[in-house]
């Protein structure tokens, strides 16, 4: 009975340590990784939008009546 209780206690302590480590990792992801990824996504979106505007401008210049001559 005592060995059984000791075994359970050890398992519970291991689970508690694993839970604490997982919580630290989740906090790291939420506080550092996710914001960095959001910033990267915003930069990428901005760059793509700028490229699209430039491409539209090029198409307009190619199709303008003064250039058709």
Q: What is the pTM of this model?
A: 0.60
Nearest by Cα to 51 from 43, 63, 61, 39: 43
The continuous run of DSSP H or E covering 36 comes out as helix 34-63
Q: Work out the number of other CB atoms within 10 angstroms of the CB of residue 64.
A: 9
What count of residues does the chain have?
Answer: 69
Q: Block means of pLDDT (10 residues each) for the chain, length 69 residues?
A: 88 98 97 95 98 96 75
50 with 56: CB under 8 angstroms?
A: no
Q: What is the pLDDT of residue 68?
A: 53
């Amino acid at each position: 009975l005592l060995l059984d209780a000791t075994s359970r206690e050890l398992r519970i302590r291991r689970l508690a340590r694993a839970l604490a480590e997982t919580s630290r990792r989740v906090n790291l992801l939420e506080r550092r990784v996710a914001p960095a990824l959001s910033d990267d996504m915003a930069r990428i979106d901005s760059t793509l939008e700028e490229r699209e505007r430039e491409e539209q401008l090029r198409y307009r210049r190619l199709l303008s009546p003064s250039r058709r001559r």
